[in-house]
Structure 1
Amino acid sequence: MKSLKSLVALGIAMAVSSTTFAETTNPMATIKESVTNQAVTSAKDSAKSAVTEKVSAVKQGAETKVTNAKEAVTSAKDSAKSAVTEKASAVKQGAETKVANAKEVVTSAKDSAKSVATEKASVVKQGAETKVANAKETLTSAKNSAKKVAKVNINTADEKTLQTLDGIGEVKAKAIIEYRKKYGKIKNIAELSKVSGIGESTLEKLNGYVSF
């Protein structure tokens, strides 16, 4: 009986010792767990902060690159636009210059052609006038020669023949014929002056070219 009691007492003592040891070692585990949790949390925060900083840096770098790219594109567009404008202006100016030169050439050609045509027309006109004048002189000379060769008889010539005389037209020819009918034959140049319309200037032209 005493042995059983001793065993029970021993078991109780051991149980108490075990409980006391457990209570003694438990705070260490709690502290370890707390330290571990703090380390993990700190590591997570550090990692998160590093990631955040890296993401921010990447984002800022990307934004800088995008801004630079936009500026480069804008600058390239402005340069291209300026180059196109300058080229268009140069082409337009060149075209206007060519048109102006062409107009000047055409105007000069027209003026030259007009001048040549005017000079040629003047020469032709002068030549024609000279030919006409020469022809008139030749005709007059031929008429005068013909009159000298064959005199016109005032008393026998008809109206058409009388008109071949210098200074005698249709009216004077009819007047001569009317005078002959009324007064008979005309005897001389002095009597011819009595015909209506025949004056001294006409008699001078007829003298030597008529007979009675």
Structure 2
Amino acid sequence: LFAFAIPEDDTSLFKREDKYYLGPIVTFKNEGGKQEIIDGQQRLTTLLLLLRAFYERSSNQKDSETKSMRKMIEQCIWKTDEFDKPDQNALKIDSEVATDEDKGEFLEILKSGKADDGFKSRYAENYRFFEKKIDAFLSDYPSYFRYLPVRILNNCILLPIEADNQDSALQIFSTLNDRGKPLSDADIFKAQCYKHYAAMGLR
């Protein structure tokens, strides 16, 4: 991502029409009218944690470009009111895949911007990793700091594929993965669990 957003360590070489493809996100609308993600959860959660870390690390910067960057991140992570003011307790995403403890840590990190020492989930580990990398990035490239998250938001593409129902979403998920990298045991188990509980009328 860094090489894409800041080619040859020079922000001026970036072409605004260029795109970086991060992969598909396969969804369907459940009976409650909410979008459920069948494939792409890890890409989406990782991206949100990265953006949240950028947001947290930029809190003391007051220049207009950084303020615009933070505004873009706010609209990505939180629900906003009619004046575009974010409610940091109202996230745009929930997690139904992780364990209850992991889910709680993920949502708390997005809300607070902090991974407490007691947090042990992979989300907390990833967030701490991003914090360290962003600190190093800020130290090495202070004038480039705001460009990376903005170019991630504007030029990185997550291709949405919305299926008519859960069965179709699972079929698309299996087809996409069968044609690319072989499915892991966890991927296969997850897909079969979806099918099993859907057949029982459970979500």
- So what's the TM-score if we normalise by structure 1? 0.19
More strand by share: 2
More helix by share: 1
Bigger Rg over Cα: 1
